[in-house]
Structure 1
Amino acid sequence: MPAVSPTDIPLAQRMRPKTLDAVIGQRHLLSKGAPLRRLVEHGHLPSIILHGEAGVGKTTIAMLLADAVNRPFHSLSALTTGVKQLREVLESKDTLSLSAPVVFIDEIHRFNKGQQDALLGAVEAGDITLIGATTENPSFSINNALLSRCQTYRLEPLTHGQIAKLLERATLEDNILKTLDINLKASDTIADLAHGDARKALNILEIAVQTADRSKGTLTIDDPLVSSVAQSALIKYDKDGEQHYNIVSAMIKSIRGSDPDAALYWMARMLVAGEPADFIARRLVIAASEDIGNANPNALLLADAALRSVQSIGMPEARIILGQVVVYLATSAKSNSTYKAINAAMALAEKDASPVPMHLRNGTTKLMRQQGYGQGYIYPHDHPHHYHPQAYLPENLAGTRFYEYADNQREQHSKKFMHWLKKRH
C-alpha cells in the first residue's frame, strides 16, 4: 500500500492539537484551575459527556484527556457502531491493565436504549471510562441512568478572535502552509462562515489556498477569493456574523410571536444555507410543545410527524413538509402553561424528596400489603364520571399547584370540565 502523502491529510487533521495547552478555546474547562484540567492533573478521569456544536474540539479533547492520564483510547461512532461491535470493544479490556480504557463515542445521542444500556454496565463496573460527544442536549438524548453516571461539560463555539488565532497558527505552523507565502486578509470572513466551527474554518482556508492565484508568488487570501470558494448559501446565512443558532432562535421566536412570514423567512435562510432538515424539524417539535402545548395538542403530533417524514424523505422535498409545519405552528393558538408547569415541578423536585404516600404505593407482595402499601387507595373508575377525590401529593405538599390553565379555548374548556367534575363530587 503506498504511503499517505501529507497533502492527502486534511489541514484540520494536520492541525489537531497534541497537548491540552495547544487547544484553542474551551478555557473554561482547560485553563489552570478549570474542571477538566484539575481532573487530569490529579491523574483522574471519570466518565464524562462533552456537549457542543460541531467542530469545537470534542474528539480532540477526548483524545488528549486519555493521553494526559495515560489510558488506552478506543474511538467509536454511534453512526456506524451496533451493539455487537460495541460489546466486542467492551469485552476487549486488557485484564493485565490496572487502568480502565477510555472509550470515546461520537454522536452518542444516536445510540438507542439497548446500546446505551450496554455502555451502562461497563461504566458501572469500572471496566471503561466513557467519553461521549453529542451535539444534542444530553438531558433529552441520553438515558437518565447513563447520564447520572457521567459528568457533563458544555463546549462553546470558538469566538472570532479564536478562529483568527487558529488560522494564523495554521499558516505559521502547518508543515505545508508554512512553506508558502500566504497573505491572509479574510480571517473575519472565514470566521463568519465557520459559525464557531474550527474544522470548517480550516477547511475553508485550505480550499482557498489550493485555489489562490500562484502566478505572483504570494497567495492572497481575501474576501472575494473566500466568497468564490465557499458556498454562497453560507455567506447569505451568516453575512452579518450571526451564528447559526441565532437564525434558529429567530425562527422559533417568530413562531412564538405568530408571524408565519417571518418564520418562513428564517427557516428558508437555514435551508438555503444547507442546514440539515432534521435539525430544523427537531426544533419545531420543541416549539410545538413549549410554545403551543395544550392550546393545540395536534401541533406536537404534526411536528413529530414532520420530523419522521423529513428523515425518510430528505431534501429538497422536505422543505414542503417543513413549510407546512412552520405555518401551522405560527398560526396556532399559543400556550406555555405546561412548559412553566414542568419547570416549576422540576425546581421543587430538586429540593424535595418526600416519600410516596402509602395509599399510592404498589403493594405487589404480601409483605408490602401487610406494611400498608396501597391501603386506602380509591380506584377512580369504580365511581361516577371515573373520578373520586383523594390526595395524590405528599402531605407536606398538599395544595401545591404547578399547572395554571392558560386563556385559550381548549385549556379553558378543560378547566371548566375539571371544575364541573370536582363540583359534582
Structure 2
Amino acid sequence: MSQQNSLFGAEEAPAPPSGGVSAPAAVISSPSPAAAPLGMPLAERLRPAHWQDVIGQRHLLGPGKPLRLALERGRPHSMILWGPPGVGKTTLARLVAQTVRADFIVLSAVLAGVKEIREAVQRAQVSQQAGRATLVFVDEVHRFNKSQQDAFLPHVESGLFVFIGATTENPAFEVNSALLSRATVHVLRGLEAEDLQQLVARACQALGQPAWPEEAVARLVDHADGDARRLLNAVERVAEVAEASGQPLSGVLVDQVLGDRLRRFDKGGDQFYDLISALHKSIRGSDPDASLYWLARMLDGGADPLYLARRLVRIASEDIGNADPRALPLCLAAAQTQERLGSPEGELALAQAVAYLAVAPKSNAVYLAWKAAQAMVKAAGTAPVPDHLRNAPTGLARQLGHGQGYRYPHDEPDGFAPGVSYWPDGMSSASLYQPVDRGLELRIREKLDRLRELDVAWRDRS
C-alpha cells in the first residue's frame, strides 16, 4: 500500500485503479499510546481515539451541545472549525469521520489546488457507489482562493460528501460567503489551565512516569498558552532532557529546557486585530491600567512598535481630538522617540502616550464631523465656489467678480465677519462640528455658540 504524505496526510491508501481515481481511504483511527510506532511524536500518540476522550471544547462537546448531538446521532453536518493552533480542529474532523464510519480525505490548502480537489471528488463518487459516506477535511481552508473554494459547492449541496474546513482566521473574511452559507461555523477555544493539567497527566501516563511536580506542571501550562500540541511537545522535550541528564523534574528544569515563553500572537491575523482592538477600546474607555496591559501584550508578542505608534496617533485624533489637543503632538513625539531609540528604550515613550490618552478627556466630535463632511461631498457633487470666496490674483479674475464682496475678518470687530456664508451658493449650512462638554472643547463650544449668536443678530438686522 502506498503512503500519501503530501496531499491526503499520512494515511495508507490503496493504489489508484486503472481510471486514475484513488480508491477510498480507510476509516481513520488513532493508535493507543502503547501501540504507537517508534518515533511517533507524543502529541500524535495522545490524539484521542474517541470523541468522548477529547479534552476541552465543552461548549461544543458537552451534553446537549450542537457538535455532540451531531456525533451521537451519527448525522454530521458540513462545518468550519475556527480556532487558534493546537486546540483540536484536525482531531475533531477525524473523530467525526470515525464516528459515522466515513472515508476520510485530507486536503492541505497550502499544497492542494483545483486538480487535487477534483481527485477528491472522484474518490468520493467511488465511495458513494460502494455505499460509503465520505468526509473531506481541508486544513488551512482560508488559504484556498475563491475558485478553489467554489469547487466544493455543488458537491456539498448534493450531499456527495460532508465538508469540514479548519482555519485559524476569521471565516467571515477568509471563506467565501457561498461556502460559508452551506457550513456551520464552530469556534474552538484555547484550552484552559485545568484542561492542560489533565493533558499533562495523560502524557505522564503514556511516558510511564509518575505525576510531575506541581511547579513543573504550572510552568508547562504557562508555556503552552492554551495550545495542546505545544504543551505535549514541551512535555516530550523536558522528559528527554531529564532522562538524558539525570536531573530531577522541576520548574527550574522546565525553564532551562523551554527558555522564554512566547505567547500566542498571530501577526496580521485575527488575534493581532483583536489585541489592537482591546488596546484601542481600553484607551477609549479611560482605563490606563488595562491600556498598558494590552500594549505590553502586543509588544511582548512581537508587534511592530512603529505600527502601534501610528495607531496611537490615530487614537489621539479620533477619540481625544480637541478635548485635549496636546494628545496629538505627544503621540507624534512618542513615535519619533521610538523611531530614534528603538526597542526597548523607545517603548517607554509609547507607554507614556498610552497612559496620557487613557486619562485625557474624550471627544470624537472632529471624527464625526469629518465623516459627515465626506458624506456631504459625495451626496452633493461638485458645487462651484461662490464668487466672494474665489481667488483673485489677476485683473481678469477681479473683472470676473472673483473675491468681490469678501469681508476680511481681521478688519471686523472680534476678528469675525458675522452674516457671511462660506458654503456653496444654494447649499444650506450645516453644523457638522459639535464640540462636547469636556476638556478644551467646552470652551470651543462656548465660542461657537457666541459666534452663531452674532450671525443670527446680523441677519436679523439685515
Is the TM value for this pair above 0.5?
Answer: yes
2:103–2:135 contact (8 Å) kept in structure 1: yes
Structure-2 separation of matches of 1:235 and 1:56: 15
* CA 123–423 in structure 1, closer or farther in 2 if over 3 Å, else same: farther
- The match for 1:304 is none
Superposed CA deviations along residues 293-350 of structure 1, whole A, max 9, x for unmatched, are xxxxxxxxxxxxxxxxxxxxxxxxxx47645644554444359xxxxxxxxxxxxxxx
Matches within 5 A, 1:325-344: 325-334=310-319
Matched, 1:163 2:188: no
SS at match of 1:104: strand
CA displacement at 1:23 relative to structure 2: 0.3
* CA 208–74 in structure 1, closer or farther in 2 if over 3 Å, else same: same
Matched, 1:113 2:146: yes
- Over the matched positions of the two proteins, sequence identity in percent amounts to 41
Kindly provide the amino acid, as one letter, of the partner of residue 410 in structure 1: W
**Which residues of structure 1 form unaligned runs of 5+?**
238-242, 275-279, 281-318, 336-403
- The match for 2:223 is 193
Q: TM-score, normalised by structure 1?
A: 0.61
Matches within 5 A, 1:259-270: 269-270=297-298
Matched, 1:31 2:28: no
SS at match of 2:56: coil
Kindly provide the amino acid, as one letter, of the partner of residue 183 in structure 1: W
- The match for 1:301 is none
- The match for 1:206 is 236
Q: TM-score, normalised by structure 2?
A: 0.56
Superposed CA deviations along residues 79-110 of structure 1, whole A, max 9, x for unmatched, are 11112212221222214233441000111112
Match of 2:51 among 16, 20, 23: 20
| Bigger radius of gyration | 2
Matched, 1:61 2:92: yes
CA displacement at 1:148 relative to structure 2: 0.7
1:405–1:411 contact (8 Å) kept in structure 2: no
Match of 1:126 among 159, 167, 173: 159
CA displacement at 1:117 relative to structure 2: 0.5
SS at match of 1:53: coil
Structure-2 separation of matches of 1:159 and 1:203: 17
- The match for 1:221 is 249
- The match for 2:42 is 11
Structure-1 separation of matches of 2:376 and 2:227: 52
Match of 1:96 among 110, 114, 129: 129
Structure-2 separation of matches of 1:422 and 1:169: 79
1:20–1:61 contact (8 Å) kept in structure 2: yes
Superposed CA deviations along residues 251-270 of structure 1, whole A, max 9, x for unmatched, are 4446757999x989956754
Structure-2 separation of matches of 1:63 and 1:153: 15
CA displacement at 1:54 relative to structure 2: 1.0
Matched, 1:144 2:182: no
1:75–1:105 contact (8 Å) kept in structure 2: yes
Structure-1 separation of matches of 2:264 and 2:129: 56
Matches within 5 A, 1:292-307: none
**Which residues of structure 2 form unaligned runs of 5+?**
3-34, 266-270, 321-363, 381-422, 429-462
Kindly provide the amino acid, as one letter, of the partner of residue 9 in structure 1: M
Matched, 1:234 2:280: no
Kindly provide the amino acid, as one letter, of the partner of residue 257 in structure 2: V
1:52–1:155 contact (8 Å) kept in structure 2: yes
